[in-house]
Amino acid sequence: MTRAEFTRRQVNLSGHASNPRVTVTFSDEKTFTRELELNGDGEPVGMHPEAPHKLFKGSGFVLRRQDIISFLRASPGQRYPIFASFMKGVASNVLGLSVEAEQRLEEAAAEKVERVEIREREIGELASLLQMNPDRLAAHVLDAGTFRMWVTANGLSRAQTRHKTARRANYRAIAAQVEVVRKSIEEYVKASQELARLRKIASVTPLGNVLREVSETLSESFLEISPQAQSVAKVELHLSSDATEIDLFATLANGVRVKAEGYFSEANLDLLALLLFLSLLKFAGQHGQAKFMALDDVLQSVDSPVRVKVAQFLVREFANWQLLITFHDRLWKEQFGAILSPGQPFVEREIKAWSLDSGPHLVQLRRNASSDLRESLALGGTRSICGDAGYLLEVMSDWLSKSLQTSVTRRHGDKYTLGDTWPSVASSLKKTVATSLVENVEKYSWLRNAHGAHYNEWAESLSIEDARAFGSATIALWDAVWCEKCREPAGKHGDLIHCRCGLVSLPKKVKNSQSADDASGRQPGSD
């Protein structure tokens, strides 16, 4: 899937001012809009257009925590509709029926049509004997039971016609035709039921084939991630012959086969269900579905070590996908970001507030953190300049320690200060053309503690020139390592250091080093 930008029209649904809509703009500049139609009372009455975009018609692309809960709480016989709704039409389009199954279905449909014609012909014969309108008679022969009651009510059953005078030959003909019609109705019902049975099988077979296919990789991925891998030999998805009942089983290391629900913890069951849904989404992506997936806080109940392994699994198995992941747990968000930051591009947004009038207020994180310092340099005093410069230096050190993959001594709770991250970051940067920028920052970095972060009476006499020198040096280094285009700091990519889009690069230092103005590696005129 090409990358897309989503725009939402702010609508107060309680006001019914207009219909809410969502517009998606793809990277090829094409747009797609869907609008929720409301009636005069503000109640939803439909969607326009009714069908989703063609790249999203095959399968659902949003996986919510509720989907996993619904699957785990459902009985084996109730699980098929959950998957059928989630997969929509991709299974039928990709893995249809076999040639033999399609032939049986066609034969059953033809048989039903033939039985309808026979029934109508025989009803016409009976109507002629009774001197009735065939359409009027047909209203009483919808099924065998209704026809039987009509025959009895009109004195046309075998027992009733037996007492009629033998001179009325048409009674015998009528009775005989009644039996013919009754048999034709029974044959029609049998043909109709057989067609319905084959159609049901046809509706579940493609998805059953998909589930059987994805279950082959389920055990491998589960055992890779789950902490219970040592006690489990394999996990498997078991489908009934008609694929309408779905069970999860685990074969233990000692050979015992048990139901997954009776053996695994809630966290492991969540993991198992998540991996199953992810396998279905991956199958859809391999067969025409756009490679876009939204995971709405699906790992909230999974243990922390498992979350990290799942994040690594997602980064590896869905490397060429666009992922939208929501977090309600800040620690888990930080863990996921730490896994992504070395090489995977990502954008962070946070919902700061929400109201019925304006909806959610989104703030893009990883914004240009230098804005406060730039403002202080223009209007602020010595304390604000030193404080903002120190803060920017901390942000820069934290982000670069991850993107440059520098070594940092572990601390309890992984809480690091500037003193922990800056030395290794500075050492890495001094090997590049940014050497002079780093050294310039280090000349003044002592002002962070002396005047920006702590109170020192003697520092009150600090000159504005020294403060501005510290701030300017920090800004210069920031501009050399931060890319406004891809909104990421320069990072380590093999033996090279550059941002994701390549606009900012830091070549290795040479004997005739470049000036500080060229240290960012930007192309002339790139600004």
Using one digit for the tens of pLDDT, what is the confidence trace for 123-177?
888 888 878 787 777 776 666 777 777 777 777 766 655 555 444 567 777 778 8
Q: pLDDT at position 9, please?
A: 46
pLDDT band at 15 (very low <50, low <70, confident <90, very high): low
pLDDT at residue 250 is higher than 60: yes
Q: pLDDT at position 89, please?
A: 60
The pTM of the full predicted model, rounded to 2 decimals, is 0.53
- The DSSP element (H or E) to which 249 belongs, if any, is strand 246-252
pLDDT tens profile 114-130:
888 888 888 888 888 87
Q: Between vectors from CA 98 to CA 96 and to CA 103, what angle results, nearest 5°?
A: 110
Q: pLDDT at position 161, please?
A: 57
Q: pLDDT at position 527, please?
A: 38
Environment class of residue 305 by beta-carbon count within 10 Å: exposed (0-12), middle (13-18) or buried (19+)? exposed
Mean pLDDT of 424-443: 87
Q: pLDDT at position 514, please?
A: 46
- Is the model more confident about 215 or about 167? 215
Whether the CB-CB separation of 123 and 135 falls below 8 Å is answered with no
Mean of the per-residue pLDDT values of the chain? 75
pLDDT at residue 355 is higher than 60: yes
**Helix-strand-coil split of the chain, %, nearest 5:** 55, 15, 30
Share of the chain above pLDDT 90, in %: 2
Q: pLDDT at position 163, please?
A: 53
Closest by CA to 373, choosing from 282, 298, 212, 482, is 482
pLDDT at residue 6 is higher than 60: no
Q: pLDDT at position 516, please?
A: 43
